[in-house]
Amino acid sequence: MNDIGRMVQQIEISGTEVLRKPEELKLIGRGRSAVVFRIRDEQKVLKVFYPDCAHLAVQEASIYQVLQDNNHFPFYYEGGEGYVVLEYLDGITFYECLRRGIIITDNMLLQVDVALQYARSKGLNPSDTHLQNVMLLSNGEVRVIDVVRFRQSKECTHWDDLKMAYDRYYQRRFFPKKYPVWFIEMIIRLYRKGFIKMNERK
């Protein structure tokens, strides 16, 4: 058993809560399917799926392997039962940009578009691309993360809707660029419940 396998065996998760983990791991992220740890002294992260989502690890690993030739996605190192190991990204999500007031630019959106178009060229269906799944790195580059749903068949309009909101509102000169978490979460909930719609498509 390699070091990764040993660390994964020492992790205990109940539902979405991490009850136990080895010292080498630092919890840095939590999503609806998995938790993410940074591996101490390495530029790598360990993404461990919740017990009821463990089957998604194989799916995400296969998608990252398809995307390996494009640097708009994190580098994939290895995977195993219920986990994947990826490149550590030094940056913040677009969600955090809104919270801190860091301006999201046209170029940042363009980099996401390029990444998603590349995925489509590989026969994938980019899905679930939202504020928490796009990262601005410290060097100004953008990465798309959490690609586990890139093989679903249904159409996902999350990214198109975000771009439309950007065009209609965010980029206006006097429109606020910084928002409290409660406001961002309220908008997200209203969007998910269908109270906020972006019906016009370019």
Which residues belong to the active site? 128
3-state secondary structure of 78: strand
C-alpha span between 102 and 95 (Å, rounded): 10
C-alpha span between 38 and 27 (Å, rounded): 7
**Are the beta carbons of 45 and 85 closer than 8 angstroms?**
yes
Partners of residue 14 on adjacent β-strands? 17
C-alpha span between 64 and 89 (Å, rounded): 15
* Amino acid identity for residue 169 in this structure: Y
82 Rama sector, left if φ>0, alpha if ψ -120 to 50, beta otherwise: left
Task: Please write down the HEC assignment for all residues of 154-191.
Answer: CCCCHHHHHHHHHHHHHCCCCCCCCCCHHHHHHHHHHH
Which run of H or of E encompasses 121? helix 106-121
C-alpha span between 29 and 133 (Å, rounded): 11
